[in-house]
Amino acid sequence: MSLIVMKFGGSSVGDAERMKRVANRIVERKLEGHGCVVVVSAMGDTTDDLIDLSKQLCPGTPPAREMDMLLTTGEQVSVALLSMAIHSLGHAAVSFTGWQAGMYTEALHGKARISDIRPDRIRDAIAAGKIVIVAGFQGMTEEGEITTLGRGGSDTTAVALAAAIEADVCEIFTDVDGIYSTDPRIVKCARKLSEISYDEMLELANLGAAVLHPRAVEYAKNYNVQLVVRSSFNHNEGTNVKEEAAMEQGIVVRGIAYDKNVARISILGVEEKPGQLAKVFTALANAQIDVDIIVQSGVQNGLADFSCTVSLSDQEKALQVIEGIRPEVGFRQVTSETNLVKVSIVGAGMVSTPGVAAKMFEVISELGISILLVSTSEIKTSCVIENDRLNEVIAALHSAYGLDTDQAVFVGGPSERR
């Protein structure tokens, strides 16, 4: 008997009818002779609704521990209902919270990392012939505190469980039928990829492609988990995420991603001397703030300006941290800017192909759009621009790199040829 981990996102279980469809899909795999472990997210917009409710009762920043207590209830609803739906089809199922499933994390509320998995109860339930339903996105510290893994953490739960129980495959079901060259909601002629390498997918996920969580891809790569992304609405072939992926002839850029969760922070008039950047970014790191692009301008009169990007959710906290070290660093002013988006191109073939980044700059320039920040690596180039013309930029880049197709794009319903 092969062992399969199946993960269904919030849109896939967004209402009773979709929940029934998912239950039937799981039972199909069970009847094929597979052992099934299913990881589920909260239904639809449940998490957003809970966050909004918390803000009504606790303006400002609610206690992180209590937010984890609140948000984990969304997945508990999903696993219980899905287990009931499977029982109604005549099959045995059991639902587990993250901590019942043996998911242990570090002691960090809101975006904890998995530290250990002890899946004894899962293995026992599988041995008893039951379908196991596990709440994604959550775990527990060694001290018994409930934690969450951050947005997209259900993907990480699924892949980590697949590694822990040595599953044959981990299938991520979503409202699109695979991984596309860009967001098919923006570009209707996007190219569906039959396969993509772990490294390319990790870059796309880190750069804003929402179809997979970056930490899930890290787990898959580190533990060699066979990962497939496919639709919960049809039985089309999905996209295989693997160690090495075949490159299509003439296709150097494999994907275009974007991230609207960007704020630029500029620190102006910093005295130019060794250790200044270290002080700033050590303080930000100690506050658990991730910094992305960093750019320092030229030095004038012994003073320098530099900018960095952080997530919008960390913007105010980052400004407070930087203001807190003003006496130590000594700068003239700190400013921030929103309404930005980071657009990125990704492809393993970029490293050996001259002019790929230059074409990106040229396309954006021809649209009359200013590039505010740039970041590059061997397989990606990112530009931060103003958000107002994002769709136009994505479409132009997609055409410029020869990614347009006439294939059917599927998004959460019957596929259409556009």
In DSSP terms, 30 is beta-bridged to none
Rounded to 5 degrees, φ, ψ at 113 are -105, 145
Structure tokens at 357: 């980044």
Q: What pairing do the DSSP bridges indicate for beta strands 333-337 and 255-259?
A: unpaired
Instruction: Supply angle C-alpha 339, 344, 345, rounded to 5.
Output: 160
Ligand-binding annotation for 258, yes or no, is no
Residue type, 400: A
Residue 201 near residue 217, CB atoms below 8 Å: yes
Q: What pairing do the DSSP bridges indicate for beta strands 380-386 and 340-346?
A: antiparallel
Ligand-binding annotation for 75, yes or no, is yes
- Other Cβ atoms closer than 10 A to 200: 24
Beta-strand ranges (E) seen in 218-300 are 227-231, 239-242, 255-259, 263-271, 294-300
Ligand-binding annotation for 9, yes or no, is yes
Ligand-binding annotation for 180, yes or no, is yes
Ligand-binding annotation for 98, yes or no, is no
Q: By 3-state DSSP, what share of the chain in percent is helix, strand and coil, each rounded to 5?
A: 35, 30, 35
| Per-residue burial over 229-252, b = 16 or more CB atoms within 10 Å of its CB, e = otherwise | bbbbbeeeebbbbbeebeeeeeeb
Ligand-binding annotation for 7, yes or no, is yes
148 burial via Cβ count (<10 Å: 0-12, 13-18, 19+): buried
Rg of the Cα trace of the chain?
Answer: 23
Structure tokens at 153: 């953490």
Question: Residue 191 and residue 179: Cα distance in Å, rounded?
Answer: 9
Ligand-binding annotation for 250, yes or no, is no
Structure tokens at 69: 């207590």
Ligand-binding annotation for 188, yes or no, is no
Ligand-binding annotation for 8, yes or no, is yes
Ligand-binding annotation for 185, yes or no, is yes
Residue 385 near residue 338, CB atoms below 8 Å: no
As annotated, the binding site includes: 7-10, 47, 75, 174-175, 180, 185
As annotated, the binding site for substrate includes: 47, 75
As annotated, the binding site for ATP includes: 7-10, 174-175, 180, 185
